[in-house]
Every structure is written in structure tokens, then in C-alpha cells.
Structure 1
Amino acid sequence: MKTPTLLLALLALTLGARADLTEEQRRVPLEAPSPDPKLAKIVLIAGSVSNKPGQHEYFAGCALMMDWLKQTKGVWPVLVSEGWPKNEAILDGAKAIVVYADGGVKLPFLEPERWAHVKRLMDAGTGFVMLHQSVDIPDEQADDLKSWLGAAFQKDIGCRGHWDMEFSDFPPHPITRGVAAFAAPLDGWLYNLHFAPGVTPLLSGTVPEKSRSSADAKTHPDRTEVIAWAYERPNGGRSFGYTGCDLHRNWQIESQRRLVTNGILWAAKMEVPSAGAPVTFNPANLATNLDFKPAPPPKAAAPAPAPAQ
């Protein structure tokens, strides 16, 4: 007897509930199995609570990406919270894995068993997408990540910071279909990564010269810097990286939504429509599924100066 699809979804919602999720977030199905094996499963891995309100909204951002991916026929997006699935079997058979999380030592799958699991997926040709700080990697895993994603951010040459960026020149590629010139104000960026041979730059832009914090970056004054790229791995797997997406409000930019959605579909070996993926968006949804980030305690008032003698 087959378990009804609705029951499976409710079971996944119950099993996936995490103690630190908000009441609203608990209503979003987590690790929900596909009702049809013919659908292209795309797993969206959201990192843990991080940074200030409106920044690093990994859960809310992944929930929005779920909505946009559902607008493409034949896709089954799956949301995972807290950086790694409770049921690792949900990763099996995925056409692509998307990681939207903190990087460095906080990258959620650095521990050996998880890293080995991701390696098996990469060896099998699973699509791979990494957004924002997740591209930052400790030295020990940098070679692996570069071979999977086509790039790795490391402190030896990498630079990062917040500034306005504008993009207007896009190479012909399925990921850039339907992407028009756009500006992303005051977003957070990482650049000057270690790139693998064969990477295709998709977005490049001007950065403030004062942001060139590494010795290597300072040897390239006025160079436009790669912010997004595509990579076809030797085993046929596809990868897409974009180091923006720090500010949650910038998901209202249609070209950013389309670029990221196109990139996910391409990595999953789905056909990207000639006009780009549909990414219909209700601005009110920006305020949904946000992490609970309590305001920091007020700073103690400075003591009054002693009266003059």
C-alpha cells in the first residue's frame, strides 16, 4: 500500500522541525520527498541563523528560491534547514544541491562524514551551486571545492566587503538568458577567488580600490572582478557560483532572481527557457520566513563626567 503524498509531506514537516525555527518557518515543509521520481529534485540547503536582520537570511532566501523553482515545470525543490539534512537520504538522486550558508569554519558540511557524502555526490555528477559566503573554504578543503565548484575563496588572495555594484555586460550562456542590466546596492561581495581552468565568468564588475585587501588583489588595480561563474566539471557535472545575496532585500531585483534560478536549473541539467526562467514575485514575500534575530542589548550609557573642582 502506497503512503499518500499528503501524508508523506506532513511526516517530512514533522521530522524536519527544528527547535530554533520560528513558528512561521515550521509551516514550510522540510526535506519533503518527491511525489514523482520523474521530477528533477533540487535540494536547497539553508545555513543556520547568522548576522543581522535582513542579512544572511538563508532560510527565507531558500524558501523564496523554492517558489521560483516551482514555476518551472518538472522541478521538485526540497528545503533543508540548519545546513544539513536530518535524513541524509533526501540528497540521493538530487539533480543539484544548492548551498546558501556561512562559509569558512562555519560551512555546515566540513566534518569528514558530511564532506565525504558531498564528494560522492560530486563524483556522481550532481549539480552544485554555492551562494554568498559558502564559497569561503578552509585551506584543507580548498582543492576539493575548487574541483567541484570551479572556484574557492581563500584568505591568501580573496577580498570581501559591501558596496554598490552594477552589471550590464553578460556573455551568451543559458544562465544569462533573460538577465538584463541591474544594480545591487550595498550588497556583500567576495572576489579574487582561486579559479579552476575552464570556468566561464558570467558577472564581472568594478570594485572599490580600497577593497583590495590582499597583496595579490593590489597587483590588479582597476580590473573588473568576477562575481558569478559557471563551470562544467570533467565528469560532466555542472556548477554555478554567485558571491552576492548578502542582503535579503536584493531578491526583489528581477535579474538577480533570474540569474540565480537559471544557474540552479542549468546546474541540474534542466533546459533554461530562451527568455530565462519564470521568477514571478510578490514583494510581500520578502517579509516571510525571516530568522529570529533578537536586537542586541543597548549599550550602557557612558558615565557622566565628574564635576569640575
Structure 2
Amino acid sequence: LMKHALEQIENLSGIQADVVEGWPERSLRDAASTVVFIGDLFPPNRLPNPQQNLADLDEMMQRGVGIACIHYATGLLGDDVTPDGDHPLLRWMGGYFANRSCPHHESFARVFPKATITPAETDHPVTRGWKEFTLRDEPYFNNYFGAEGNQLAPKATVLATSMLPPEAPKRETVAWCIEREDTGRGFGVVMPHYYKNWRDEDLRRLILNGIVWSAKIDVPAGGVKTDSPNLADFDPKSV
């Protein structure tokens, strides 16, 4: 679905996306402008040979390759991080979802019947062309951004927030990005949980803007334009 959406963007051309299950071969890693992860927790730590996977990623990041994580791919376990919460993803992407097994911090995951997602007050390219939206989803909250009072790093930017949880609302960061010292870019978004929410134009534009930006492609003034996908074409197990 993401490959289709990226390659069918109406107001950008020349984007090619490769879908990989497992760890990508060196030739693909060498050619990539950005790498996008989906899955149950951060895949490089879940796939075989995690230390080598992280070393491969580090090599890519040092070349300025981008990284983007979608929903639970933003997540790390306690075994993945040091006791104080350090992990390369914190520097590569600017933050992560800290599973309850983490010793230093606990992020939270709940499905909300109605979660309203609000663009941050910034002129960042990833916020172009989408407006506030409300949907049933599982936007993670109390995400982890670092030991300095859980504040984002200086070169990180909040892109979207939501008032969560509804019984004790606090403005939570649900999408963010970072421009790294190695010239690469990182993008994290803690949605969507439900496959059907890819039909929401504002959510889809937020995510695709972020992926495009992480690849150092200029985001069009009104954001990327795509048609609503026919989900049946992609054989979802659940919509």
C-alpha cells in the first residue's frame, strides 16, 4: 500500500519504492534515499542478527540516508535499550515508543474511539496540505524523546499532537521529525493501527509527506496528492 501510494503521487515523479520482508541486501541499502519500517516493534531489533542490522543502519545513517517508522515500528523493548534508555533510534529518528518493559520510561498504547490529531504550529514541510482530523485509532502517547525532561532534541520538530488520554488530556506528540548532524532526516508517526485509516486523506498526506521529506525530496506546497486507495487491492487481513 505504501509503495503504491508513493509511486502514484500525482504531484511528484520518479519515486521508486521496494518492499522487503527480512533484512535488505547491501545493493538495496546502498541505493536507498530513505528506509521506512513497519512491523511489531522496531524491526532491526526483531529480525535475526540485530547487532549487525543496527551496524548496517548506522552505516546508512552516517551517509545521510533517511529513516521513517510507522506506528509500532517506533517501539523498543527494555532489552533493546540501555538502562538509561539510550538506543541509536533516539538519535536517528528523535524519539521512540517505550514499551512497558523499558526500565527508564513507559509509553502507553490504547485504542481511542475518537482521537483528534492536530497539526503543530510550524511551517515545516511535513505539515503541508493536511488539516486536523479525527478517527478511531491507537495513537501512542507519552513517547520517549530523551533524558532531558523528555524534551525533543534541538533539531527535532513536533509535527502533530493529540489531547490524550481523554479522561486526563495532555497535549501529546504523535508525529515528529529530526534533522540529524549527519545530514540525514528521521520521521516518526505513531499511527495508523487500523488498515482502513489509510483512506483518511489527511493522515495519508501526513505520513507520505514525512516519508518524502525523509528522502530529501521537496514536499509540494500543498503536500503530496494521492487518490484514496482501494484497500481490497492490497488484500488486508483486517480493515
Short-chain TM bin = 0.7 to 0.9
CA contact (8 A) 1:62 1:100 kept: no
Contact kept in structure 2, 1:176 and 1:259, CA below 8 Å: yes
Equivalent residue number for residue 102 of structure 1: 40
Match of 2:120 among 149, 170, 182: 170
Letter of the aligned partner of 1:150 in structure 2?
Answer: G
Check 1:125–1:104 CA distance in 2 against 1; reply closer, same or farther (3 A cut). Answer: closer
Letter in 2 for 1:122: M
| Same amino acid, percent of matched pairs | 27
1:157 and 2:106 aligned? yes
**Residues 201-232 of structure 1: per-residue CA shift (max 9 Å, x gap):** 1111111256xxxxxxxxxx532111000111
152-161 vs 261-270, greater mean Cα deviation: 152-161
Number of aligned positions between the proteins: 218
RMSD of aligned Cα (Å): 2.3
Report the Cα distance in structure 1 between the residues aligned to 2:58 and 2:18, rounded to whole angstroms. 20
CA 1:234/1:70 → structure 2, altered by over 3 Å: closer, same or farther? same
1:1-309 aligned within 5 A: 61-69=1-9, 72-80=12-20, 82-85=21-24, 87-103=25-41, 107-108=46-47, 111-139=50-78, 140-141=80-81, 142-154=86-98, 155=100, 156-163=105-112, 164-171=114-121, 172-185=123-136, 187-195=137-145, 196-198=152-154, 199-208=156-165, 221-282=168-229, 285-290=230-235
Shift in Å, 1:137? 1.0
On the 8 A contact 1:109/1:115 being kept in 2, the answer is no
Q: How far apart are the structure 2 equivalents of 1:97 and 1:70?
A: 22
Deviation string, structure 1 residues 69-105 (Cα, Å, up to 9, x no partner): 576213222221x2433x3421212111110111068
Please give the TM-score of this superposition, normalised by the length of structure 1.
0.64
**Structure 1 residues 98, 110: closer, same or farther in 2, change over 3 A?**
farther
Q: 1:292 to 1:90 in 2, by over 3 A?
A: same
Q: Could you list the runs of 5+ residues in structure 2 that have no partner in the other structure?
A: 146-151
* Offset of residue 153 of structure 1: 1.7
- Partner SS state of residue 28, structure 2: helix
Per-residue CA deviations over 1:176-221 (Å, capped at 9, x if unaligned) read: 1101221122x122221221412211111111256xxxxxxxxxx5
Q: Which residue in 1 is equivalent to 2:149?
A: none
Cα distance in structure 2, aligned partners of 1:108 and 1:246: 21
Distance 1:63 1:267, change over 3 A: closer
Distance 1:63 1:237, change over 3 A: closer
Code of the aligned partner of 1:79: V
The alignment partner of 2:19 has SS state of strand
TM-score (norm 2): 0.82
What secondary structure, in the 3-state scheme, does the structure 2 residue paired with 1:225 have? strand
2:165 is aligned with what amino acid? Answer: P
CA distance in 2, matches of 1:96, 1:126: 5
In the TM superposition, what whole-angstrom CA distance separates every residue of 1:115-170 from its partner, at most 9, and x where no partner exists?
21111111111011001001111343442110111002212321111002112443
Q: Is residue 119–residue 127 contact of structure 2 (8 Å, CA) maintained in 1?
A: no
| SS of match in other structure, 2:187 | strand
Separation of aligned partners in 1, 2:48 and 2:153: 25
Aligned mates of 2:107, 2:13 — CA distance in 1: 38
Moved more, 157-166 or 108-117: 108-117
Runs (4 or more) in structure 1 with deviation over 6 Å come to: none
Q: Which runs of 5+ in 1 are unaligned?
A: 1-60, 211-220, 294-309
Amino acid at match of 1:206: M
Distance across 2 between alignment mates of 1:181 and 1:122: 32
What CA deviation, in whole Å up to 9, does each residue of 1:33-86 have, x standing for no partner? xxxxxxxxxxxxxxxxxxxxxxxxxxxx43443444576213222221x2433x
Q: How far apart in 2 are the matches of 1:168 and 1:111?
A: 35
Kept in 2, the 8 Å contact 1:69–1:77? The answer is no
